[in-house]
Amino acid sequence: MSVSRTRAFDEIIHREPVAPLSSYSKSSEIFGTKVFNRRAMREFMPKEAFESVVSAIEQGTTINRKMADMVATGMKSWAMNKGATHYTHWFQPLTGTTAEKHDAFFDMDISGNVIENFEADKLVQQEPDASSFPNGGIRNTFEARGYSAWDPSSPAFIIGKTLCIPTVFVSYTGEALDYKTPLLKALNVIDKAAVDVCQYFDKNILKVIATLGWEQEYFLVDSALYNARPDLNMTGRTLFGHTPAKGQQLDDHYFGSISDRVLNFMRELEAECLMLGIPVKTRHNEVAPNQFECAPIFEECNLAVDHNQLLMDIMSKIADRHYFKVLLHEKPFAKVNGSGKHNNWSLSTNTGVNLLSPGKNPKTNLQFLTFFINTIKAVHENADLLRASIASASNDHRLGANEAPPAIMSIFIGSQLTQVLNELEEKVKTGKMSPDEKTDLKLGIGKIPEILLDNTDRNRTSPFAFTGNKFEFRAVGSSANCSLSMTTLNTIVANQLIEFKKEVDALIEKGSGKDEAIFKVLRSYIVSSKNIRFEGNGYGEEWVKEAAHRGLKNIKTTPESLDALVSKKSKKLFTSLHVMNEREIEARHEIYLEMYTKKIQIESRVIGDLSLNHIVPVALRYQKVLVENTRGMKELFSAKDFQTVAGTQMEMIKTISSRVATIILNVEKMTEERKKANLMEDPKEQALAYCHKIKPFFEIIRYEVDKLELLIDDTYWTLPKYRELLFTK
Ligand code: ADP
Ligand code: MG
């Protein structure tokens, strides 16, 4: 039996307060103490093994068996020193969560003695029984072998008493079954492509890393109230609930003071993050009541992705201790702001230069413009694919709803850079340029103001915005694994840079000077990608019209948007750069469709169950009270007076009947549609049916339920209400 609303409040009232965390004075005291980082490696590993790992991280070299053995031994002694008893490969299967299979460090020798055992083979490879992870047909269940293999570029860490080793997860036949594998490949591809282009400007640039700084939004709700909401429990969002009298209209939550209880949770979360080497920096309230944000300092992309996955994991664990539940869903409450996860992205060189930061002289500014314009061009050419990379059942609620970046992909760059691009378009001649014209151009570029850095020219309604020294991909969902968007973004930009280099080299071959060739190609990109640039209000209706006029797509639902992933163009892109092969792409497409279907299917079932088991019985119970009351009135009053005194109540009785009837009827219809959809074998057809035939019932049923919530005696209502979920401090 689920806990009823009144019991939930009883629990809250009688619960012991959580003792605050004993304080630590400096973040640096605890930072990275649970991570097998370079400092720990140096201490616990022979020099040659340490150097082998560093070279694997920095140059992508392989670690040989002998070295791996030394690393394993070092890692084990470090972990045991810290009290770890078990180890696990930590990986990111396509379910969207992280997976672990714990093994003890000890083993038995032949004579049955217990020995501490953890050697290279266990470090390098594990075989989790992978049959229950989604694989989109790549691996039949009888061939239940998937391998997880160590990713040395993300350091091992300890959670509780377990040493966690970040790994990739691939099938027996070598296909990626996780998010990390293609990401690592994409990062490798952009490194090479960007270095090649950097050679035009600076021969010392030999390595380019993609950087990611995510901003994680989330809601906190009291765990007792959460437990009394089966919909939150099973789907991560509320499927019913009337808007509270006071919502976010007063804007009093944003940057408001954080309650002690929440602060207590945040402090503990931050301490844990710091120990795990996640450089969390900012915390604040978000727009909606009980909504918050947490953001770290940016890091190398792969590490940042792991850290975000880790954060989402530990958040929930720590919240439990504080009687909170963390909601990572993109839209846990209807008509209340949803949650996103801004992905701040840039490229950084071994020479310490941020390639998306305007430089101080014409040369570095041309380099900046090259990467800036190529990114715009890449997004223009692959907007559909980028849209597909953020598609999920839960993010569908957010994209295009009036508080989140729309499903239409566009780029905001601010007025100053718009002016720079306009000038370039005007001044760069397509024909031969005179020396004076070239000098003039270079001077002009040299003046790109440095004030761009503290850019106040912000547009919060754009899904993809340039913010001074990085692009901010804002349409990513709060529950998403950032790998998806980052694999796509890095791959499309890499592809674009390769294309760019080809075009520039071709012009140089024909006799153009280098700078002139670069200018000309950039100019052509400015012209051809103009459509994707939009500086106005992305939430407005006018933009929807304008975008349609420009031919930009507005794909609102996941099943349709995923088409872009399996298009000819996308397959060519991913396969030619060896980020994913065709089977992997097809498998992913199928898995994402299946995930979509399952999510909507579960929601539909929960709506049916709650309607029939909670809402209707409560409505009928209250109706009975009204019926008895009116019957009593009939005894008391004359027939003539009765009509006057009991009229309103009789209307209420009728309203309840009619709403109950509508609910039951639509639950039945929805169930019928579900039965039909469940018979479908093609995943796309099935996902479309769930999207267009089943999901529309949600709103119809919800409307009636929410009206009943307003009508029925508060003490009868079993589900905690929005005002309680959102405002219980
Ligand atoms: P907001 O978007 O909330 O106004 P900011 O614009 O300050 O906040 O963005 C902060 C985020 O941008 C942080 O997560 C930060 O780490 C990240 N960031 C800053 N510089 C870079 C960079 N070069 N590459 C990637 N992320 C970056
Ligand atoms: Mg931001």
Domains of the chain, earliest start first: 29-178 (3.10.20.70), 187-580 (3.30.590.10), 595-725 (1.20.120.1560)
Q: How many whole angstroms from 530 Cα to the centroid of ligand 2?
A: 24
Q: Measure the CA–CA gap between 180 and 184, rounded to whole angstroms.
A: 6
Which of 273-277, 444-448, 539-543, 572-576 is predicted with the least confidence, judged by mean pLDDT? Answer: 444-448
Q: Which ligand has an atom closest to residue 278 CA?
A: 1
Which of 142-156, 254-268, 522-536 is predicted with the least confidence, judged by mean pLDDT? Answer: 142-156
Each residue's pLDDT tens digit, 616-643: 999 999 999 999 999 999 999 999 899 8
Specify the residue with its C-alpha closest to ligand 1, atom 9. 344
291-296 and 341-349 beta bridge pairing: unpaired
Mean pLDDT throughout 494-509? 98
Confidence at 141, pLDDT banded by 50, 70, 90: very low
Residue 693 confidence (pLDDT) above 90: yes
Mean pLDDT throughout 149-153? 86
Q: How many whole angstroms from 293 Cα to the centroid of ligand 1?
A: 13
Atom of ligand 1 nearest to the CA of 345: 25
Helix axes 696-711, 639-678, angle to 10 degrees: 150
Cα distances (Å, whole numbers) of residue 363 to 210, 346, 373: 22, 19, 15
Residue 1 confidence (pLDDT) above 60: no
Q: How many whole angstroms from 215 Cα to the centroid of ligand 2?
A: 6
Confidence at 684, pLDDT banded by 50, 70, 90: very high
Q: How many whole angstroms from 476 Cα to the centroid of ligand 2?
A: 11
400 Cβ partners below 8 Å, 6+ apart? 406, 407, 408, 554, 556
pLDDT of residue 142: 37
Mean pLDDT throughout 379-395? 97
Which residues does a 6 A CB cutoff place in the pocket of ligand 1? 211-213, 215, 295, 297-298, 342, 344-346, 354, 467, 469-470
Confidence at 310, pLDDT banded by 50, 70, 90: very high
Each residue's pLDDT tens digit, 208-239: 999 999 999 999 999 999 999 999 999 999 99
Q: Which ligand has an atom closest to residue 295 CA?
A: 1
- Mean residue pLDDT of the chain comes to 89
Residue 128 confidence (pLDDT) above 80: no
Mean pLDDT throughout 281-287? 76
pLDDT of residue 445: 72
146-150 and 471-473 beta bridge pairing: unpaired
Atom of ligand 1 nearest to the CA of 212: 25
Cα distances (Å, whole numbers) of residue 348 to 195, 352, 455, 541: 10, 7, 20, 38
Q: Which of 79, 173, 82 is nearest to 122 (CA)?
A: 79
Specify the residue with its C-alpha closest to ligand 1, atom 14. 213
Residue 484 confidence (pLDDT) above 90: yes
pLDDT of residue 137: 65
pLDDT of residue 395: 96
Counting DSSP H helices and E strands in the chain, the numbers are 26, 17
Ligand 1: which of 190, 273, 298, 372 to mutate, judged by most atoms within 8 Å of the beta carbon? 298
pLDDT of residue 329: 97
Q: How many whole angstroms from 286 Cα to the centroid of ligand 2?
A: 12
665 Cβ partners below 8 Å, 6+ apart? none
Q: Measure the CA–CA gap between 280 and 293, rounded to whole angstroms.
A: 11
pLDDT of residue 149: 82
Give backbone dihedrals phi and psi of 474, rounded to 5 degrees, phi first. -95, -10
Which residues are paired to 100 by β-bridges? 90
Q: Measure the CA–CA gap between 412 and 405, rounded to whole angstroms.
A: 12
Atom of ligand 1 nearest to the CA of 468: 6
Which of 249-263, 566-580, 705-719 is predicted with the least confidence, judged by mean pLDDT? Answer: 249-263
Q: How many whole angstroms from 302 Cα to the centroid of ligand 1?
A: 16
Specify the residue with its C-alpha closest to ligand 1, atom 8. 215
Mean pLDDT throughout 480-504? 98
Q: Measure the CA–CA gap between 85 and 646, rounded to whole angstroms.
A: 71
Atom of ligand 1 nearest to the CA of 293: 3
Mean pLDDT throughout 237-266? 77
Q: How many whole angstroms from 519 Cα to the centroid of ligand 2?
A: 31
CA angle at 678 for the pair 233 and 481, rounded to the nearest 5°: 45
Specify the residue with its C-alpha closest to ligand 1, atom 7. 467
Q: Measure the CA–CA gap between 71 and 77, rounded to whole angstroms.
A: 10
Report whether 300 contacts 307 (CB < 8 A). no
Q: Measure the CA–CA gap between 570 and 382, rounded to whole angstroms.
A: 9
Q: How many whole angstroms from 482 Cα to the centroid of ligand 2?
A: 15
Specify the residue with its C-alpha closest to ligand 1, atom 6. 467
Mean pLDDT throughout 558-583? 96
Give backbone dihedrals phi and psi of 657, rounded to 5 degrees, phi first. -60, -45
Query: Greater confidence, 224 or 284?
Result: 224
pLDDT of residue 291: 92
Atom of ligand 1 nearest to the CA of 215: 14
Which of 103-107, 310-314, 477-481, 543-547 is predicted with the least confidence, judged by mean pLDDT? Answer: 103-107
Handedness of CA 202, 207, 213, 214 (dihedral sign): positive
Confidence at 524, pLDDT banded by 50, 70, 90: very high
Q: How many whole angstroms from 64 Cα to the centroid of ligand 1?
A: 37
Residue 452 confidence (pLDDT) above 60: no
pLDDT of residue 225: 95
